[in-house]
Amino acid sequence: MTKYFALLPAAGVGARMAANGPKQYLSVGGKPMLRHAVDAFRASPLVAHTYVVVSPEDGVIDSVLPADLDGVTVLRCGGATRMDSVLNGLRALDGQLADGDMVMVHDAARPGLTPALIARLIEGVGDDPAGGLLALPVVDTMKRSAPGAEGVSVSAATVPRNGLWSAQTPQMFSYALLLRALGSAPDANAITDDASAVEMLGYAPRLIEGHPRNLKVTLPADIRIAEMYLAEKED
């Protein structure tokens, strides 16, 4: 029987947040962002276990995720890039997960995840060998920029939005496929999400419609938006 696991890379430094520490530990709605994401997986009856990958030097994680927290294991093997952290985490689980077990990789800075979205992803992907991810269809008009005078950017072209989706997480693939995809990726810095590595192997992951509440907190203003969603009743 297929089991479902969560893996959260949380070794980043959050440079764009202009904060004093890693953004995954910033408080959103009275709780660290990382804890919101972890608690969503803990609340899902479909998830067998959650793994969090942090830097070996991380001195904060023990206060956010105590050692006696049910259903969660911290792996202190984070790498220099997001892909390195995910790959190191997968390799640390060698022998603990079966090849066909499904791994949901989720950004630690997406505190709006809910058990309902997790269930939607699992149901939507089903037994598709290519896996899948939560994403949102692009609704805004898209522009391609070009350098203008005095260093400003100008609109050089309008890009058709038909068929464009904005990727979210979790992104879910079998343990064996994800391990092979990330292990064979030529450039860790070019892999901004796990689906791109899987696509390089010729697979076409399913796009499962997510929700705006599952936004990634990247800039300081995003915290207020995330808190607005967290204050609402879940769909």
> What does the mean pLDDT of the chain come to?
93
* Residue 222 placed within a domain: yes
Query: What pLDDT sits at residue 16?
Result: 47
* Residue 84 placed within a domain: yes
Alpha-carbon torsion (91, 40, 164, 140), positive or negative: negative
Alpha-carbon torsion (109, 114, 117, 121), positive or negative: positive
pLDDT in tens, 112-155: 999 999 999 999 999 999 999 999 999 999 999 999 988 899 99
Measure the CA–CA gap between 121 and 123, rounded to whole angstroms.
6
pLDDT in tens, 174-197: 999 999 999 999 887 778 899 999
- 172: which residues sit within 8 A by CB, 6+ positions away? 4, 102, 103, 104, 105, 121, 122, 125, 131, 132, 133
Place 54 in a pLDDT band, splitting at 50, 70 and 90.
very high
Measure the CA–CA gap between 79 and 12, rounded to whole angstroms.
9
* Residue 34 placed within a domain: yes
CATH number of 179's domain: 3.90.550.10
Measure the CA–CA gap between 230 and 57, rounded to whole angstroms.
30
pLDDT value at 56 more than 70: yes
Query: What pLDDT sits at residue 74?
Result: 98
Query: What pLDDT sits at residue 19?
Result: 54
The Cα angle at residue 77 between residues 75 and 79, in degrees rounded to 5: 135
pLDDT value at 12 more than 80: no
Query: What pLDDT sits at residue 155?
Result: 96
* Residue 162 placed within a domain: no
Domain count, the chain: 1
* Residue 186 placed within a domain: yes
pLDDT value at 94 more than 60: yes
Domain range spanning residue 39?
A: 4-135+167-231
* Residue 225 placed within a domain: yes
Structure tokens at 134: 């939560």
Place 22 in a pLDDT band, splitting at 50, 70 and 90.
confident
pLDDT value at 170 more than 70: yes
Structure tokens at 161: 């939005």
* Residue 158 placed within a domain: no
* Residue 160 placed within a domain: no
Query: What pLDDT sits at residue 149?
Result: 86
Measure the CA–CA gap between 198 and 176, rounded to whole angstroms.
11
Structure tokens at 13: 């430094």
Query: What pLDDT sits at residue 201?
Result: 96
The Cα angle at residue 200 between residues 198 and 206, in degrees rounded to 5: 45
pLDDT value at 20 more than 70: no
Report the pLDDT averaged over residues 60-72.
96
